Structure 1
Amino acid sequence: MTKLLILDRDGVINQDSDAFVKNADEFIPLPGSIDALARLYKAGWILAIATNQSGLARGKFTQADLDAMHSKLLHELQAVGGDLHHIAWCPHGPDDGCDCRKPKPGLLQQISWALNLDLDEAIMVGDSLRDLQAGQAAGCKQAVLVRTGKGEKTLAAGEGLEGVRIVENLAELADQLLAD
């Protein structure tokens, strides 16, 4: 069985911002998230990110800024023995009508194609309802809500959480997955 974990980025791995995470300096990993990813990677999990980055379409940051954020993430992860297998991002705005912006499943399908893996055994991790909906629309076997980022707000809204696993943060999820 393939162990594929697809993660939202902002609010799951790094601090989120209503003003957008616009550059590498503003890309600040959440406590324990880098270590959690490294532990999962070392245990044989395939790790991918699916992230909406409408700040590109809105002119809040450039592709070079986004690349620098992802380089920082990879550098920090590789420094502790981890890595990512794929990063998929949607550069479109909410009104662009693309098929990749979550809650649509396009980013997850891109990951499936890039890694040549089916999503029926994948786990989708996010802090918002649209992350969970994207995982469900793509046919992932499980959706997980973290309480970090917008997670508490999503939990308080209480919609669409049937069958969703709820954890405090990425470190708790890693503990659970590695114990299974």
Structure 2
Amino acid sequence: MEYPEAVLFDRDGTLVRDVPYNGDPALVEPMPGAREALSLVRSRGLRIGVVSNQSGIGRGLLTWSQVDAVNARVDRLLGGFDDWQVCPHRPEDGCACRKPRPGLVLAACAALGVRPERVVVVGDIGADVAAALAAGAWPVLVPTPVTRPEEVARAPRTAPDLLTAVRTALPIALTAGGA
């Protein structure tokens, strides 16, 4: 029986409240239960990463330094992460990294030295789930008011909040295929 070696989290709407195209670290506010969820993952000795689409860079609404400043604030508030993967592209750019494609998840797995099938990905929308599945990882969807009903219906695993998502994910016995 194998258990997860790492947990990857979406940033906006999952770890912190979603502020569209946020370039201001002062606006960063952790989601309820985020600190407790991350503490639980760390207590199990698992690696933790963040995978985040930031199309505001590609759209010219944000700079890399603004995104880095927001990420640094998230890092300080929530205890530090082992890896950050950010896609700066617009949806129409067709890149391999932007969720729902698997690039961010695969890059995080490589950086953390873990196989995708040993990784849980926690996010708040269908693109997070799709990226996890495409990479061969295990998705857990934590719906928010912006999550569409069809995304919830298609998700292999859901949880009502971040702490429950982590509690659900950690005891999962992993098998090939991620679903």
Q: TM-score of the superposition, structure 2-length normalised? A: 0.86
Q: Determine if contact 2:125/2:151 at 8 Å carries over to the other structure.
A: no
CA distance in 1, matches of 2:169, 2:133: 19
Once the two structures are TM-superposed, the CA of residue 149 in structure 1 deviates from its matched residue by: 5.7
User: Could you say which residue in structure 1 is the equivalent of 2:128?
Assistant: 131
CA distance in 2, matches of 1:121, 1:97: 27
* 1:70-116, Cα deviation, whole Å (9 max, x unpaired): 111111123xxxx3110101011111121100111111111122122
Q: Which amino acid aligns with 2:121?
A: M
Q: Determine if contact 2:140/2:169 at 8 Å carries over to the other structure.
A: no
Q: Determine if contact 1:5/1:123 at 8 Å carries over to the other structure.
A: yes
SS of residue matched to 1:76 = helix
Q: Determine if contact 1:56/1:91 at 8 Å carries over to the other structure.
A: yes
Gaps of 5+ in 1: none
Distance change >3 Å, CA 61–CA 108, structure 1 → 2 = same
Distance change >3 Å, CA 31–CA 129, structure 1 → 2 = same
User: Could you say which residue in structure 2 is the equivalent of 1:69?
Assistant: 70
CA distance in 2, matches of 1:134, 1:117: 16
CA distance in 2, matches of 1:31, 1:159: 20
Q: Determine if contact 1:89/1:107 at 8 Å carries over to the other structure.
A: yes
Q: Percent identity?
A: 31
CA distance in 2, matches of 1:86, 1:158: 27
1:1-180 correspondence to structure 2 within 5 Å: 1=2, 2-17=4-19, 19-78=20-79, 83-140=80-137, 142-148=138-144, 150=146, 153-154=147-148, 156-158=149-151, 161=154, 164-177=156-169
Q: Which amino acid aligns with 1:6?
A: L
Q: TM-score of the superposition, structure 1-length normalised? A: 0.85
Once the two structures are TM-superposed, the CA of residue 175 in structure 1 deviates from its matched residue by: 3.3
Distance change >3 Å, CA 179–CA 131, structure 1 → 2 = closer
SS of residue matched to 2:48 = strand
User: What number of residue pairs does the alignment pair up?
Assistant: 170
Q: Determine if contact 1:124/1:132 at 8 Å carries over to the other structure.
A: yes
CA distance in 2, matches of 1:177, 1:126: 12
SS of residue matched to 1:168 = coil
Q: Determine if contact 1:16/1:149 at 8 Å carries over to the other structure.
A: no
CA distance in 2, matches of 1:158, 1:74: 28
CA distance in 2, matches of 1:176, 1:132: 15
Distance change >3 Å, CA 99–CA 30, structure 1 → 2 = same
Distance change >3 Å, CA 117–CA 178, structure 1 → 2 = closer
CA distance in 1, matches of 2:101, 2:151: 20
